[in-house]
Structure 1
Amino acid sequence: MMTDVLSRYLDTRAGFRFLVRPARPDDEAGLAEFFRHVTPEDLRFRFLTTVKEVGHDRLAAMTKLEDRQTENFIAFTDDGKKIIAAGMLACDADLEKGEVAISIRREYKHRGVGWELLRHICKFAENKGVKAVESLEDRQNHEAIEIEIEQGFEVDECPDDVRLVVLRKKFK
C-alpha cells in the first residue's frame, strides 16, 4: 500500500486524516480532475496568473519522476481515492532555497489540510538540506499568508511586483 518513505498519513488539529505521497506519472488524470475543483481565485493564487484549466504540460511536469530538484506531493482522502490537495517544492541546484506552492480542493478548505501539507513539505525540505523555503503570494491571499506566518515564515516585499509578497522560512 504505502511503500514510499515520503508517503504518510497526516492528521489535522480538527481531527481530519488524509494521505500524502509524492506524485507519480499515473496521477495526471486525477490531478486534472482535482484542479477542476479548485476555485478560480485559488488557481490564480497558485499560478499567479488567470488560469481556466490546468493543461497537460503543467500536469505532466507535476507528475514526472526524473526531476529531483522538484517534488510534487498529492494529498488524498484517507481511503486514497480522491485528491484533495497538491503541493510543490522546487529547489535550486545548490539547495539554497526552495519554492513552495499549494492548492486545496474547495470543499476541503478550512480543515487544516493546507497547514499540515505545508508543514510536511517544510520538513521534507529541511531534511533534504534546503536552507530556506519561499512562497510567492498574492497580497490578497490572506489565508495562505496567515498560515505561513504561523509556521515561522517572514514576510518581505517582492522587488518585481507590488501585488506580491515573498514569505521565507529559514532552516538552521
Structure 2
Amino acid sequence: METTLLLPTRSGIDLLVRPASEQDAAALTDFFDRVSDQDRRFRFFSAGAHINPRQLEPLIHADHYRSESFLGFDAANEQLVASGLLACDADMDTAEIAVSVRSDYRGRGVGWALLDFVSQEAARRGVRRAIAIEARENHAAIELEREKGFLPEPFDGDPTLVILAKYFR
C-alpha cells in the first residue's frame, strides 16, 4: 500500500490510513502519550509512561513487505488517532497484528475498522493466519477480535497471555 486510503468507521469517522515513515516519529511519540497507560502497557507489554526508541523503531522502519506500520488520521481534523502494526514471520505464514487507538477515540469504531483493514492486508499478502497476542485482562481487545472472527488459542509458557487467531486458508 503506497497511498492513503479512506476507511469509514461505524460511528461516521473517516480515517485516512497510510503507511508510517521515519518522518512520523514525533507524531507517533505524541500519539502514544495520548493512549491510556493501560492500553500502552497492553500494546507493548511494558509499563513505561512513554514509548521508548526501541518500541518506536518497528513503527517507523517497516520493510513494507513482511512488516507494515499503518497510521490512521481523523479526516476531519488530520489528527493521528490510531496505529496498526502488521508483522509477518519469515515464511509469510503468520502475521501478528497490534492496534492502538487514542483514548478519546475509543468506542467509536476506530479500532474495529483498523483491525479489519490490517487483517485484510495480512490476507492480501498471502499469510495463512493473523494473530493478536493479548493480556488476558484486556477484555475489550479480546472481545473486538472475537467479533472480527479471531479465535482464542493458548499462549504456551505464559498463562497471563492469550493468542487470538484468524485463519484465511
TM-score (norm 1): 0.93
Task: Note if 1:136 corresponds to 2:133.
Answer: yes
Task: Note if 1:4 corresponds to 2:2.
Answer: yes
Contact 1:45 1:138 in 2 (8 A): yes
Partner of 1:50: 47
Partner of 2:97: 100
For 1:113, give the aligned amino acid.
Answer: V
Contact 1:131 1:170 in 2 (8 A): yes
For 2:59, give the aligned amino acid.
Answer: M
Task: Note if 1:72 corresponds to 2:69.
Answer: yes
Q: What is the aligned counterpart of 2:161 among 154, 161, 164?
A: 164
Matches for 1:27-46 after TM superposition, within 5 Å: 27-46=24-43
Cα deviation, residue 160, structure 1: 1.6
Contact 2:72 2:83 in 1 (8 A): yes
| Greater mean deviation of Cα atoms: 91-100 or 64-73 | 64-73
Contact 2:13 2:74 in 1 (8 A): no
Contact 2:112 2:144 in 1 (8 A): yes
Deviations 1:34-87 (A, max 9, x none): 000000000111012212111123223211144631111010110463110101
Query: d(CA) in 2 for partners of 1:95 and 1:80?
Result: 36
For 2:142, give the aligned amino acid.
Answer: I
Cα deviation, residue 127, structure 1: 0.6
* SS at structure 2 position matched to 1:21: strand
Task: Note if 1:154 corresponds to 2:151.
Answer: yes
Query: d(CA) in 1 for partners of 2:70 and 2:13?
Result: 18
Misfit runs of 4+, over 2 Å: 65-68
Gaps of 5+ in 1: none
Contact 2:58 2:69 in 1 (8 A): no
* SS at structure 1 position matched to 2:165: strand
Partner of 1:15: 12
Identical-residue share of aligned pairs (%): 38
Query: d(CA) in 2 for partners of 1:146 and 1:86?
Result: 19
Contact 2:33 2:50 in 1 (8 A): yes
TM-score (norm 2): 0.94
Gaps of 5+ in 2: none
